[in-house]
Chains A and B, each alone.
Chain A
């Protein structure tokens, strides 16, 4: 196991293995998303209270879930990079940030489109769930800006890792905000005592969407980490040999 992990963390090995894995993640993610979209839009029964409006959850919930998953991946990788000085871990953290920002943006936009008809407002300043999710978007921006501002990769890794770890405080706040304070946002539907409070015909497309988004996020993260690894290893022999095969004249 350790041997496998050690090998995986070696940049040239990661670079070639990830290339083989990315298409599979893309394909599997696409299948799940297509099933979830078709079933969610056309086959799931109409919600009694929210009519067809509830179908927004099929994109909103997975986007919000990935927005937080990306942060957890980023913070844990940043922590591993800080403690064990593992370069690949910092590359993972750096790759997760822009993806996290996109999914947070998506969660906020689709949530806003939901809020207009359901709560009568696009946005509510001071609402704990909405505000903490927005704060996460700024944490992602801050992380990326900090990295971009520091030329030295090692210094950028360290400084941005500290920011990622400090900002991780926001994750439980987002998650429990709807329990701790009064919020416009509804409570948890899937993860709660007594099982999911939703009809199976509504539930399965949602689970498929969550799975599909997770697989797609996996593919995107691998792709971004690959690019990051290539850039970080630009002065090494293996990158040189990869780009200019031996024997080829320049």
Chain B
């Protein structure tokens, strides 16, 4: 466990890496979510348009 200790800067180093990991994961999930929203939105719209015709 000793290698995980960063002396008096432990909290600073780990919080920096932790926040970075969280933000990167948010970026990936956000991009994925947006794509799915646009996709399903378009599918609904196209189906509604074509069933009207």
Point out residues on A near B: beta carbons under 8 Å.
Answer: 26, 37, 41-42, 50-53, 55-56, 58-60, 63, 98-99, 102, 105-106, 109-110, 113-114, 116-117, 216, 220, 223-224, 226-227, 230-231, 234, 239-240, 243-244, 250
Contacts and interface: CB of A to CB of B under 8 A. Distances in A.
A53 B20 contact: no
B43 to A, nearest CB: 5
Contact of B17 (A59, A98, A231): A59
Given A243-B46, A244-B46, A244-B50, A224 B19 contact: no
Looking at chain A's contact residues, the main secondary structure is helix
A28 B26 CA distance: 19
B12 A105 contact: no
A66 to B, nearest CB: 10
A234 B45 contact: yes
Given A230-B38, A243-B42, A56 B32 contact: no
Contacts of B20: 59, 63, 106, 110
A110 B19 contact: yes
Contact of B7 (A41, A51, A99): A51
Q: Is chain B's interface secondary structure helix, strand, loop, or mixed overall?
A: helix
A105 B23 contact: yes
A239 B45 CA distance: 12
B1 interface: no
Contact of B13 (A53, A102, A220): A53
23 contacts: A42-B3, A51-B6, A51-B7, A51-B8, A52-B9, A52-B13, A53-B12, A59-B16, A59-B17, A99-B27, A106-B20, A106-B23, A113-B16, A114-B12, A116-B12, A216-B24, A216-B27, A220-B28, A224-B34, A226-B35, A243-B43, A250-B47, A250-B51
A155 B16 CA distance: 40
Contacts of A114: 12, 16
Contacts of B17: 37, 41, 58-59
Range of interface residues on B (Cβ < 8 Å): 20 to 34
A31 to B, nearest CB: 14
Contact of B50 (A42, A52, A106, A250): A250
Contacts of B7: 51-53
A224 B34 CA distance: 8
Contacts of A56: 9, 12-13, 16
Contacts of B26: 102
A52 B46 CA distance: 56
